């Protein structure tokens, strides 16, 4: 069985508090992107009692046993001991450490695929709880629809935003921004901004209101990210931002306006 985990971008990202468990509360609009990995599973060969995981494409950091796909399998295996052994292969295309949620998507899609392939009959609400145990961004990919996200990522409110008149340029410079460092630069806001109200305004006015709290410190440390952000606006984007804690930058351009931008070799770029 093969599935295609997709990426996401954050339109607005505000840190609204620090929780007793050490996590931060956030407010953001998560928007799924049609940039995909490919994840395949097949039954194990009989001498295996667990998951055998490997990957190709972009290099995946860390040990295979620590990958979210393997962790998702073992999480379900602990509660469903009859879950058969599997071989799993991930073709990695979504840049990592880039604020696009690729690893989170892989883990969540593994949960959903195992549930469907082996007919575990786990309700979506329970899959959602498993996903939250995997990581803060993971529950979004169980829903996988545009949504306002609050808390650690466990509170999701689907909303519709019309992007039919726009195309999105996504660029990643290949910089890995350490998440822990990025959070250490943030002072939580005292009040939650009215992000949902701002999103109802014309897209052309978003840049007056919608921010990413990580952008200022990340762009100060990595000038390439600020340069990407500025290049989006200089070439006609009506809204541009960094996604997550970096380092991906995206711009919304009116359809029919496709500027020619030149990026250094090795930059990931895609029009959507």
Are 28 and 103 in the same domain?
yes
Over residues 88-115, mean pLDDT: 96
Q: Classify 239 as helix, strand or coil.
A: strand
Q: Which of 25, 37, 106, 137 is catalytic?
A: 137
Give catalytic status of residue 270 as yes or no.
Answer: no
Residues facing residue 269 across a β-bridge: 171
State the pLDDT at residue 85.
95
Total number of domains in the chain: 2
Q: Final residue of a domain: which of 133, 157, 181?
A: 157
Strands (E) across the chain are located at: 2-3, 6-18, 24-36, 38-43, 51-57, 86-92, 147-151, 155-158, 166-172, 239-242, 249-254, 268-271
State the pLDDT at residue 271.
95
State the pLDDT at residue 45.
79
Which CATH number goes with the domain that contains 266?
3.30.70.890
Are 166 and 153 in the same domain?
no
Q: What is the pTM of this model?
A: 0.94
Residue whose C-alpha is closest to residue 124's, from 137, 111, 110: 111
- The mean pLDDT value of the chain amounts to 94
Q: Which domain holds residue 64?
A: 2-157
Are 143 and 176 in the same domain?
no
Q: What are phi and psi of 50, to 5 degrees?
A: -140, -155
Are 166 and 261 in the same domain?
yes
Q: Final residue of a domain: which of 122, 157, 192?
A: 157
Q: Final residue of a domain: which of 126, 157, 188?
A: 157
Q: Classify 65 as helix, strand or coil.
A: helix
DSSP 171-195: EE-S----HHHHHHTPPPPSS---H
Are 171 and 71 in the same domain?
no
Q: How confident is the model at residue 70 (pLDDT cuts 50, 70, 90)?
A: very high
Give catalytic status of residue 8 as yes or no.
Answer: yes
Lookup: tokens for 176: 């890995």
Over residues 173-202, mean pLDDT: 93
Are 185 and 202 in the same domain?
yes
Are 194 and 250 in the same domain?
yes
Are 49 and 126 in the same domain?
yes
Are 14 and 136 in the same domain?
yes
Alpha carbons 174 and 44: distance in angstroms, whole number: 35
Are 104 and 81 in the same domain?
yes
């Amino acid at each position: 069985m093969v599935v295609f985990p997709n990426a996401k971008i954050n339109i607005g990202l505000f840190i609204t508090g620090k929780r007793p468990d050490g996590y931060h509360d956030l407010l953001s609009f998560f928007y799924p992107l049609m940039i995909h990995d490919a994840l395949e599973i097949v039954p194990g060969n009989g001498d295996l009692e667990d998951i055998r995981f490997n990957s190709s494409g972009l290099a995946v950091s860390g040990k295979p046993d620590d990958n979210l796909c393997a962790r998702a399998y073992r999480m379900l295996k602990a509660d469903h001991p009859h879950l058969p052994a599997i071989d799993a292969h991930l073709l990695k295309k979504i840049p990592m450490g880039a604020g696009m949620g690729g690893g989170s998507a892989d883990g969540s899609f593994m949960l959903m695929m195992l549930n469907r392939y082996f007919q575990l009959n786990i309700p979506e609400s329970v899959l959602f709880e498993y996903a939250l145990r995997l990581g803060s961004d993971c529950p979004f990919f169980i829903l996988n629809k545009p949504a306002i996200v609050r808390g650690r990522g466990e509170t999701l409110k689907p909303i519709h935003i019309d992007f039919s008149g726009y195309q999105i340029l996504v660029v990643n410079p290949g910089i890995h921004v350490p998440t822990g460092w990025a959070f250490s630069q943030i002072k939580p806001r005292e009040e939650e901004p009215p992000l949902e109200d701002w999103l109802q305004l014309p897209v052309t006015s978003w840049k007056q209101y919608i921010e990413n709290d990580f952008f200022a410190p990340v762009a100060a440390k990595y000038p390439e990210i600020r340069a990407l952000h500025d290049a989006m606006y200089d070439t006609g984007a009506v809204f541009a931002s960094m996604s997550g804690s970096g380092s991906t930058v995206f711009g919304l351009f009116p359809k029919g306006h496709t500027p020619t931008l030149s990026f250094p070799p090795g930059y990931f770029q895609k029009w959507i």
